[in-house]
Amino acid sequence: MRKLSVLLLLIILRPGFISGQQDPLSSQYMFNLHYFNPGSSGISGMVCATALLRQQWVGFKGAPVTTLFTVNAPLRLLKSPGGVGLIVDNDKTGFDSDIRLGGTYSYHIDLGSGKLGIGIMLGMLNKS
């Protein structure tokens, strides 16, 4: 029991770097379904581009700022029932900056009363 107490105390008091994770925040997510669901790429049947800027705690130095740009389009030229898209995201909080770049692909299945979009996203993240 004593060893466990000492181990827990060392873990709690351990010096070092502890970094929390913060996902980019978007308070207007309903205007950009493509960012959260790659299966929606091109599902509207037209080219769709969205740009969003979110600032939190305006006026404070190092306050979180999220900039997001997405574009997606159907693959009508290739006669394919799907779509492709591009997502560029810059999330800055204090000294940390995350830049994401991703490409999306979706395949659409017509269900009669609607469409089912199955999608995949491949991307990269640059943390600095």
pLDDT at position 30 is 78
| Residue 47 banded pLDDT, cuts 50, 70, 90 | very high
The Cα–Cα gap between 41 and 52 comes to 17
Average model confidence (pLDDT) across the chain: 87
> Mean per-residue pLDDT for 40-50?
92
pLDDT at position 82 is 93
Is residue 68 within 8 A of residue 78, CB to CB? The reply is no
> Mean per-residue pLDDT for 2-13?
80
Sorted by where each begins, the domain ranges of the chain are 24-127
In this predicted structure, the answer to whether residue 1 has a pLDDT above a threshold of 80 is no
Global confidence as pTM: 0.75
In this predicted structure, the answer to whether residue 53 has a pLDDT above a threshold of 70 is yes
**Helix and strand totals (H; E) in the chain:** 2, 5
> Mean per-residue pLDDT for 45-68?
90
